[in-house]
Amino acid sequence: MKDQVEYSHMLAENQPPFAPSVKARRNLPLALLAIPGAGAIAASFWLTDDVARFSALGFGACLTVFALVHTVVKLMRSNKQAYARLTLVSLVENDASPCFLADFNGMVTFKNGAAVEKFKERPVDSLGRAFTDLFANPGAVLYRLQSKAQALGSAREDIVTRRGHVRLAVNAVDDDMFLWRLEDLSDRGGGARAADALSLPMLTAGPTGTVLYMNEAFRRLLGGRAKNLNGVFEDLPLVSGQVHRVMCDDGTIDSLVAEVPSHGGRREIYLLPGESMSEGRTSPASWDAIEELPVPLLKVGLGGEILASNHEARVLLDHRVGSGTRISDLMKGLGRPLVDWIVETSEGRGNPAPQFLEVVGNSSETHVQVSLNPAGTPEDPYVIAVLNDVTEFKNLQMQFVQSQKMQAIGQLAGGVAHDFNNLLTAISGHCDLLLLRHDQGDGDYADLVQIHQNANRAAALVGQLLAYSRKQNLQPEVLDLRNTLSDSTHLLNRLMGEKITLTLDHDPGLSPIRADKRQLEQVLMNLVVNARDAMPDGGNIRIETENLSLAEGLTRDNVTVPPGQYVVLRVHDTGTGIPEDKRSKIFEPFWTTKKTGDGTGLGLSTAYGIVKQTGGYIFVDSTMGVGTSFSIIIPSHDAPLEIAAPAEVIDPVAPSVGDGVVLLVEDEAPVRAFASRALRLRGFTVLEADCAETALNMLADPELVVDLFLTDVVMPGKDGPTWVREALVDRPETKVVFVSGYAEEAFGEDQKEIPNSVFLPKPFSLNELTKTVHSQLH
């Protein structure tokens, strides 16, 4: 940094260093070595000892020869450099841009005619002085570019200055000499020359609206050059494809504007030909003038026929614009005939806003924003269509809409599941109470068992809804997917039948994953059953696993999988396949192609929810008549595999008997009635409250003794975690049991902050309730 400051100061102020530079010291003439060499030779004649005489003679001769050789080489190099510089000077002498030949310190040794003309008002003996009026800090710019040229051989930089847009380039001639070239892009750039040849008005604007360049047609239209877009257009901001008010030297005109994004936040803005652009203001612009314009344009008749198109439009439309082509052959998606929109635009009726359309029959999915503008004469009217490729934007929009749709369905499913769990808790709970009063010989016992079993089936169905809404309870663990599939093979084989063959193909180096084993088996079961049903005449089902490493994000089906390490589980079948128009619906709950009674429509939606809650992705590929392949991508996990502890053996018959005071807070009366009766039957003292506020009022009595809070999570007013935190301020030793129809993850952070608390999901049985309360108290 210190070197940069000194160098910049030296370039800007033309103050040469007081001491020779390192480079100068390195290049001191080695020819001076000939002097001691000659002295050694002369001294050898005075020595009497032969050995000393020959040694001095040899040493002196070596020094002299070395000095002479170095001098010759240096002279040759100097002549070569002088010739190179002379050749370089002859090349740049007639360059239209100012050129300078300067040494390492920025001192100018040559300047061409353009440089003399441009800087004739002041003597130019250093680059710093030459560029003082051009750059705010010329020393820093020169140091930056020269350092880069020393390392790379050349460097250049485009700079927007208060006097215009320039390009400063430097080439290293040798170690001590640099060729500098100053190019005014406003007047001399190649792009500017091409733009000046355009009969259409064109300008380049910076990110803040500063006009960086304006071609001759635009300058003639305005009567001069504007500094900012505010001096060109009355109605900012600009919208490509729309008509805007242009402030000309003799009044304001309406003109169709096309805008093309450029690098560095810059924009190229074109005024397209229209009725307001008379020949007096700008050169007449025929359709040929916009053939190479970087804006896709179509000339469309009122009947929808394409009268003309430019190169950009043909590329965007996959070169399918030919004689007799109609706009309806190329685009769709308006929701009504495109001809009606064209006629309304030509007559000045309807909504002038741009419309988003889909390109028909393109090799890839393409969406365009189309703006129509009336043109032509009353005898020969037509419209100009300005196209803008918005495929990337529409893909992002589709991803968002699909995400919102799935989230809305998930919220609905979760809400329904929550309410059903409350009902099922009351049904199965009161059924448990009835079963306590009947033995197996009773005539009503079998009916009660049927009620209980169907309530459990309903609970499993609700569990699938919660799985889709990603609000179920997961118990993730580190798994080897190969072991999980092996454990499920015997069950899957029983489901296949005799006509279907099931094969497994594993990656020998498969990475572990972290997932709920039971739920993952459910996903696999659903996919395999669907594959079986798609092959009524038999076939093959192949389950594959492999590692997947993504260096870049994988985007498909409106979803992006971020880079990382993954494990892929694929289920292939040779069935009938899924039609393309139905693939987008297969993960929606209750949507099924099976006949009534053969399926609930929850199999794939359950798989979708479980995979998403695990942090993975699920995709489908299908070919009609060939088969279908489901791919599940789950992040790999680098933790060691977990060894499951042996499950605790619990006697299902032995009831839990306990004592203690339980404060039961539940807003659903049937659930509260069942829970209070069940706990009293097991010996607990139960205090009931229908809301959090009632519970807190009861606890305001300091004489009241409560050993455990049993509370619902979601209630009107204060929810469970909120009132429990308030109550624990005065009763910190009280144990807590939360119950909810939602998953534990829905409020997991709140529960973790509450000590001595556990979670019991609804629906729960009489024994599950009493065992949980008993284990908390003891």
Q: What is the DSSP string of 392-453?
A: HHHHHHHHHHHHHHHHHHHHHHHHHHHHHHHHHHHHHHHHHHHHHT--TTSTTHHHHHHHHH
Window from 140-149, 620-629, 684-693, 750-759 with minimum mean pLDDT = 750-759
**Which tokens go with 184?**
């005014």
Residue 698 near residue 687 (C-beta atoms within 8 A): yes
Q: Report yes or no: 517 and 484 within 8 Å, Cβ to Cβ.
A: yes
Residue-level pLDDT at 467? 53
Looking at residue 411, what is its pLDDT? 65
For range 733-757, the mean pLDDT:
75
> Which helix H or strand E contains 652, and what residues bound it?
none
Radius of gyration of the chain, Cα coordinates, nearest whole angstrom: 42
- Write out pLDDT tens, residues 646-693: 444 444 334 445 678 999 999 989 999 999 999 998 899 999 999 999
Segment 564-573 shows an average pLDDT of 94
Distance CA 772, CA 738 (A): 10
Residues 6+ apart with CB under 8 A from 26: none
Q: What is the mean pLDDT of residues 247-274?
A: 80
Q: What is the rounded average pLDDT of the residues 240-262?
A: 83
The interaxial angle of helices 481-496 and 517-533, nearest 10 deg, is 40
Q: What is the pLDDT of residue 15?
A: 37
629-635 mean pLDDT: 93
Mean predicted lDDT score pLDDT of the chain? 77
Alpha carbons 589 and 526: distance in angstroms, whole number? 13
Most confident of 414-428, 594-608, 636-650, 720-734: 720-734
Residue 399 Cα distances to 113, 331, 444, 559, 622, angstroms: 60, 22, 55, 7, 21
Strand partners, 368: 357, 389
Nearest Cα to Cα of residue 541 among 513, 516, 515, 574: 574
Share of the chain above pLDDT 90, in %: 15
573-576-580-586 Cα dihedral, nearest 10 degrees:
-60
pLDDT for 80 beyond 60? no
CA dist., res. 109 & res. 128, Å (int): 14
Q: What is the DSSP string of 382-397?
A: EEEEEEEE-HHHHHHH
d(CA 350, CA 341): 8
pTM score, two decimals? 0.40
Is residue 726 packed enough to be buried (19+ CB in 10 Å), middle (13-18) or exposed (0-12)?
Answer: middle
Least confident residue range of 7-16, 82-91, 381-390: 7-16
pLDDT score at 601: 52
Of the candidates 336, 331, 341, 337, the one whose C-alpha atom is nearest the C-alpha of residue 362 is 331
**What pLDDT, on a 0 to 100 scale, did the predictor assign at position 450?**
85
Alpha carbons within 13 angstroms on the beta-carbon side of residue 417 total 27
How far apart, in whole angstroms, are the C-alpha atoms of residue 314 and residue 306? Answer: 11
- Residue 422 has a pLDDT of 80
* Tokens standing for residue 28: 């001191």
CA 690 to chain centre: 48
Phi, psi at 588, each rounded to 5°: -85, 140
Q: What is the mean pLDDT of residues 38-66?
A: 58
Selected residue with higher pLDDT from 477 and 511: 511
Residue 279 pLDDT > 60:
no
pLDDT at 651: 40
Q: How much is the pLDDT for 39?
A: 54
Highest mean pLDDT among 126-130, 417-421, 662-666: 662-666
Render pLDDT for 54-77 as a digit per residue (tens, 0 to 9): 565 665 566 565 556 556 555 555
Highest mean pLDDT among 225-234, 280-289, 415-424, 447-456: 225-234
The answer, yes or no, to whether residue 160 has pLDDT greater than 80, is: no
Among the listed residues 344, 339, 309, the one whose alpha carbon sits nearest the alpha carbon of residue 323? 309
Q: What is the pLDDT of residue 748?
A: 54
**Residue 352: DSSP 8-state:** -
One-letter amino acid identity for 232?
A: V
Q: Which pLDDT does position 511 carry in this prediction?
A: 92
Kindly list the distances between the CA atom of residue 528 and the CA atoms of 35, 343, 491, 500, in Å, as whole numbers in the listed order.
97, 55, 11, 11
d(CA 151, CA 146): 9
Give phi and psi for 566, each to the nearest 5. -135, 165
CA distance 477 to 486: 17
Task: State the Cα–Cα distance between residues 83 and 215, nearest whole angstrom.
Answer: 41
| Contact predicate 690/723, CB 8 Å | no
Distance of CA 329 to the CA centre of its chain: 34
Judged on CB neighbours under 10 Å (0-12, 13-18, 19+), 446 is exposed
**Which contacts of 172-176 are long-range, i.e. CB under 8 A and separated by 24 or more positions?**
173/81, 173/84, 173/85, 173/88, 173/101, 174/81, 174/84, 175/23, 175/104, 176/23, 176/103, 176/104
- pLDDT exceeding 70 applies to what percent of the chain? 73
Least trusted range by pLDDT, from 334-348, 414-428, 512-526: 414-428
pLDDT in the model for residue 77? 55
Residues 578-590 have pLDDT tens digits of: 888 777 777 776 5
pLDDT value of position 642: 55
* DSSP code at position 583: G
**Most distant CA pair in the chain: distance in Å?**
143
Q: Which of 331-345, 493-507, 689-703 has the highest mean predicted lDDT (pLDDT)? A: 689-703
Are 500 and 535 a contacting pair, CB within 8 Å?
Answer: yes
pLDDT in tens, 304-333: 999 888 888 888 888 788 888 899 888 988
What is the CB-side half-sphere exposure of residue 12 using CA atoms within 13 A?
A: 17
- Measured between alpha carbons, how far is 531 from 499 in angstroms, rounded to an integer? 13
